[in-house]
Amino acid sequence: MSLDHKQEYIPFNDYEAFAQAYAKRTESNSYNAYYERPAMFSVLPDVKFKRVLDAGCAGGVYSEWLVNHSADVVAIDISNQMVQLTKQRLKNRGQVYQADLSKPLTFLKDNSFDIVLSSLTLHYLKDWEGVLKEFHRILLPGGLLLFSTHHPFMDFLFFEKDDYFATELLDDSWEGYGDTPVRVRFYRRPLSAMTSALTNAGFAIEQILEPRPTEECKQLYPQDYEKLSTKPWFLIIHAQKKSQS
Ligand SMILES: C[S@@+](CC[C@H](N)C(=O)[O-])C[C@H]1O[C@@H](n2cnc3c(N)ncnc32)[C@H](O)[C@@H]1O
């Protein structure tokens, strides 16, 4: 499916249908627990007493880790089910709100966060300009933005697209989250679109990581280990808010 720019943008809430299954599975699966999260944690600074926004918190695995490491956490997600699951997991140790990242985050103050962490969520947004401007606004000067997203090359290859440089909507079907496959839609964009959106919003890119699966992944999920060792599934970007945008 290709993106029709004339169509009004309506954010997807595909996770509402399989929130519980997703939250459970990603606690210990190969892609999240032994590939994405270890790589994110490898570049995350000490979060003790830091104010952190978990943007796209899903079932709250990151939020729980953050509060367990003494961070002051605000978690947001578009899915009400995910918000409820995160609230249950955190047991009042943090604030959890239902919010759409494609809209202004008016309930969050300027210069009020040390870190914005967003795991595997930004590819659900068509426009990165608005959300990155909001992340920039709420971060303190020098604040950190750490996010993971689908690797642009991998989506290009996997979906057999013709034009790497296009930003386009992809329609996928995932198995393993219940009796029937679930529908998930997200956007693919070239690396240059990601980096220019960050620069335009006032961020300096510190590091771009192409994660590798961990040794535990090799022991527990040898087939996925082989795949993730040879194909770049996710990309991680570590950026800093410049004082002036
Ligand atoms: C792949 S999951 C995130 C994984 C999660 N960070 C983790 O590993 O614990 C993507 C999440 O983004 C949320 N999401 C998608 N579009 C969103 C939007 N426009 N605003 C806020 N959350 C959104 C989904 O509801 C889902 O919970």
| 180 found inside a domain | no
Mutating to test ligand 1, I would choose from 25, 78, 234 the residue with most ligand atoms within 8 A of its C-beta, which is: 78
Locate the ligand 1 atom nearest the alpha carbon of residue 63 and give its number: 9
Write out the residue range of the structural domain in which residue 23 sits: 15-153+190-241
| 167 found inside a domain | no
Give per-residue pLDDT as tens, 59-103.
999 999 999 999 999 999 999 999 999 999 999 999 999 999 999
| 116 found inside a domain | yes
| 10 found inside a domain | no
131 Cα: distance to centroid of ligand 1 (angstroms): 13
| 171 found inside a domain | no
56 Cα: distance to centroid of ligand 1 (angstroms): 4
Which residues have CB under 6 Å of ligand 1?
11, 15, 26, 32, 56-58, 61-62, 77-79, 82, 100-102, 119-121, 124-125
Quick one: CA dihedral 134, 31, 175, 62, positive or negative? Answer: negative
| 80 found inside a domain | yes
Give per-residue pLDDT as tens, 10-38.
888 999 989 999 999 999 999 999 999 99
Q: Is the pLDDT of residue 183 over 70?
A: yes
230 Cα: distance to centroid of ligand 1 (angstroms): 26
Locate the ligand 1 atom nearest the alpha carbon of residue 13 and give its number: 25
Residue 201: which CATH number?
Answer: 3.40.50.150
Residue with tokens 């947004």: 125
Stated pTM of the model: 0.95
Count of domains observed in the chain: 1
